[in-house]
Amino acid sequence: MSSQLLASCPKCGSTNVVRHISGELECLSCGYKWREGRRYGHPRTEEERRERHKERYGTEELPPRGRRFREEERDFYDAILGWCTYDRDSFYLTNELYGGYNYTCEKGSGAAQYVAPEKVLELAEKIGVEKIHLAGEAWKEIGHEGFGEEVSLEDAKRLLKELKEKRGGVKPKPKKWRVWFTTPRGFEMFIKVEAETRKEAIEKASDEAPLGSKLRYAKEEEE
């Protein structure tokens, strides 16, 4: 609950008013509770956004202000971030085991990391991505620069196959895990990651969970 004084109570006129995390306002003088209507044309100030974000997530680091996507821009829906679109120029392969990509949403942004490279290329082809970035130095083993070098989708498929053959064939596919944690505000949530071991899954999730979260346990997902 925030201690910041807000507008006066519509029932008794008192200014002894607080806003709960749920967004509900409460008058501490008469006990009356109400909700404000949307402030059309008056977006929250950066200070208001920062206070609200800290109450919800325990950090003052603000994501970019939200945006709305036209229907043709929508790639998938996230329960927290709203409609999202993949950043077409962000798809990359790290080596023969991992790759990733970024996405921008109505209420923020995100990134998929440690994704099996075949899945990265499969999604890239599905949504019409034409260029893939080769990240890291593993690609030097087959005569490429890596570190952001850009290649076509078809070349990426061919180079991935070459790198796997160079490194002794296809390695075991990483397992899928759900890592559960408690946020600083007490919410129970989970992050999906791919890793060989439970310890590795928890380490990866710790990099993505909100600052100050308490990691609880990792559970392997069934195929």
pLDDT at 180: 87
Domain boundary residue, one of 166, 183, 206: 166
Q: Are 108 and 191 in a shared domain?
A: no
Total number of domains constituting the chain: 2
Residue 32 counted as domain residue: no
Asked whether residue 133 is domain-assigned, the answer is: yes
As a whole number of angstroms, the distance between CA 215 and CA 53 comes to 21
**pLDDT for 122:** 95
Tokens of residue 63, six digits: 């994501």
84 and 155 in one domain? yes
Do the domain assignments include residue 26?
A: no
- Cα–Cα nearest to 100, from 128, 127, 125, 119: 119
Structural domain of 159: 71-166
Query: Which of 108, 170, 160 lies closest to 134, judged by CA?
Result: 160
Could you tell me if 182 and 188 are in contact, meaning their C-beta atoms sit under 8 angstroms apart?
yes
How many angstroms separate the Cα of 41 from the Cα of each of 11, 45, 52? 26, 12, 19
Contacts of residue 5, Cβ cutoff 8 Å, sequence gap at least 6: 15, 16, 17, 18
Identify whether 61 is part of a domain: no
- Residue 18 inside a domain? The answer is no
In a shared domain, residues 87 and 162: yes
Q: Are residues 122 and 161 in the same domain?
A: yes
- Per-residue pLDDT in tens (0 to 9) along the chain, 223 residues: 444 445 567 666 777 888 877 667 888 888 877 766 444 344 567 777 677 666 655 667 665 555 555 666 788 888 888 888 999 999 999 988 899 999 988 888 888 988 999 999 999 999 999 999 998 888 999 999 888 799 999 999 999 999 998 887 555 577 888 998 898 888 888 888 888 788 888 888 888 888 888 888 888 887 5
Sheet holding 175-182, edge to edge: 188-195, 175-182, 214-220
**pTM higher than 0.85, yes or no?**
no
pLDDT recorded at residue 109: 83
pLDDT of residue 163: 92
**Hey, which residues does 172 pair with through a beta bridge?**
none
Residue 131 shares a structural domain with residue 78 = yes
Among residues 126, 123, 73, which one has the least CA distance to residue 99?
A: 123
pLDDT for res 68: 54
Residue 40: the pLDDT is 39
Can you give the pLDDT at residue 121?
A: 96
Helix ranges (DSSP H) in the chain: 46-57, 117-126, 153-166, 198-208
